[in-house]
Amino acid sequence: MNMKIFPMDEKYQDYLTDESCCSGSAESISFPESEEQIREICQSMRHQGTSVTLQGGRTGIVGGAVPEGGHVMNLSKMNSVADCVQVQGGRNLLKVEPGVTLLDLQKQIRKISGPGKLCWPPDPTEPTASIGGIISSGAKGCSSWYYGETASYVEALRYLDSNGEFREITRGEKSLLFHGTYIDEIDLLIGGEGIYGVITEATLKLVPAPSVLWGICFFFRDRNDCLAFGEQMRVRGTGDDVSAVTVLEYIDRKSIDIAEKQKPHMTNIRDLPDVPSEMQAMVFCEIHGSSEQAVEERAGMLLELSENHRCSPEDTWAMTGEYGVEKLRAFRHAVPESVNMHIRSLSAEHPGIMKLGTDMMMKGYTSIDAVDMYENQLRQAGLEGCIFGHMGSGHLHMNILPKDIDEYHRGRELLAHVTLGCSQRGGRAFTEHGIGKVKREMYAALSGKQNIDEICRKKRELDPELMWNPGNVVDFSLLEDP
């Protein structure tokens, strides 16, 4: 046997947690490098009746990769990328193993197709996230407003089925009844949070990369002006291949402060100027396109619109080209990164503290309504928090920033309260981060019995021994034997 299974000793403690700061326990861990090793490890675990928790880059923020006992299978060593793009029916397809990171994928695509030729649009902003993790959590990120769901860029998946055989499923191949409607089988694994099995290879759909890129940060002295500006941009829509606003992000002052505090320690953004203290909020946007002139014109239109909302051209940062845009994107990314650092340091003092962030889309709310609601809720609860996120696709994140364990518990109550409110008003309570373990209780409280029963039925069908990812989404340990 080639497989290596290690006891979960001190050396592997980091593998018991992820970016949510939720932590768990396990008896053993493995780092398979091939499908054959995966098969052997699974056979051994099945034989012992041991459950398996799957991990990619452990950058998830709902504890999906955190084990609740059993074995941890970390896929970071399954990280090879095919050396050419296959063209099939006009589509550019690239096969990758699940442990490839987003950063490595981007580098490899550039190497294979040439700089600026092709790209894989899903971008949950965290470069160390793995393709397997992104697909399994159905992560989206900033540019989904224009580019759409991650599922649109996954053509086929290989996974290990319950008979111990590797199966490739291609988009459009087979429909399954789920939640009362027929869905493409592949879409059960995308966003399935690993509960139906391990993905061992993904065929990704690449698209032409934009040849012209702009990034602009607009800073406002008044957050109402900022929100009104962003809302107008949202209503105007994205654009087309020639020139489109692909990213539209709102960032409040508290979020700016938290990122600025970490900025000196972040090499990729530390040379950016400080944001003047009078600025109360900002919008970050990206414009992608194929025509220099059309992109410049669109940037000009946005500058004009921002001036109508009392943001002068001196209150903007604009950068062009891949490198420049990457820098501004890194500043936006510094916000959640810094929030996570804050929570991590608090959780070191008070074990049990985890990230408290919303991931919801209120029905019929503008971004202005959503920010008002979040601010009011924080004020009423006497808690601090920051608000940032995807204004374009209508889901802003509120992250609660507790100072101690008491505030953490109040924060959890607040999170449950606003999520319930969203669901009761017909909104979507969980849009892109998944449920994992952190939001499992909330999910159970909001989902009807019928919904949970349907997930359990599918789980039993595809994973009859309940081997994969125990505790994710639904507490399958409570399932009675059939």
Ligand X SMILES: Cc1cc2nc3c(=O)[nH]c(=O)nc-3n(C[C@H](O)[C@H](O)[C@H](O)COP(=O)(O)OP(=O)(O)OC[C@H]3O[C@@H](n4cnc5c(N)ncnc54)[C@H](O)[C@@H]3O)c2cc1C
Positions in the binding site for ligand X (CB under 6 A): 18-19, 54-61, 64-65, 75, 98, 124-126, 129-130, 132-134, 136-137, 139-141, 193-194, 198-199, 336-337, 340, 432-433, 436, 469, 472
Closest CB 370 distance from ligand X, rounded Å: 16
Return the residue matching tokens 């804050």.
342
Q: Which is nearer to ligand X, 228 or 325 (CB)?
A: 325
Q: From 205, 242, 221, select the one nearest 88 (Cα to Cα).
A: 205
Token pair of 406 as six digits: 């008491």
- Rounded CA-CA distance 188/225 in Å is 42
Neighbours of 45 (CB within 10 A): 20
Q: Which is nearer to ligand X, 116 or 127 (CB)?
A: 127
Closest CB 313 distance from ligand X, rounded Å: 29
Q: Which is nearer to ligand X, 193 or 315 (CB)?
A: 193
CB burial class (10 A; 0-12, 13-18, 19+) of residue 84? exposed
Q: Which is nearer to ligand X, 73 or 378 (CB)?
A: 73
- Rounded CA-CA distance 96/94 in Å is 6
Closest CB 307 distance from ligand X, rounded Å: 29
Q: From 393, 395, 217, select the one nearest 302 (Cα to Cα).
A: 217
CA distances 347 to 263, 355, 356, Å, are: 22, 9, 12
- For residue 88, list its beta bridge partners: 91
Closest CB 296 distance from ligand X, rounded Å: 28
Closest CB 400 distance from ligand X, rounded Å: 16
Q: Which is nearer to ligand X, 358 or 469 (CB)?
A: 469
Residue nearest to ligand X (CB): 133
Q: Which is nearer to ligand X, 315 or 337 (CB)?
A: 337
Contacts of 152 by beta carbon, 8 Å cutoff, 6+ apart: 205
Q: Which is nearer to ligand X, 70 or 194 (CB)?
A: 194
Closest CB 268 distance from ligand X, rounded Å: 13
Q: Which is nearer to ligand X, 309 or 397 (CB)?
A: 397
436: left (phi over 0), alpha (psi -120 to 50) or beta: left
Closest CB 275 distance from ligand X, rounded Å: 19
Dihedral sign for Cα atoms in the order 470, 472, 473, 475: positive
Dihedral sign for Cα atoms in the order 454, 458, 460, 466: negative
Closest CB 58 distance from ligand X, rounded Å: 4
Token pair of 336 as six digits: 């959640």
- Rounded CA-CA distance 247/329 in Å is 10
Say which amino acid occupies 182: Y
Q: Which is nearer to ligand X, 306 or 469 (CB)?
A: 469
- Rounded CA-CA distance 192/459 in Å is 10
Q: From 191, 166, 162, 167, select the one nearest 179 (Cα to Cα).
A: 191
Closest CB 247 distance from ligand X, rounded Å: 11
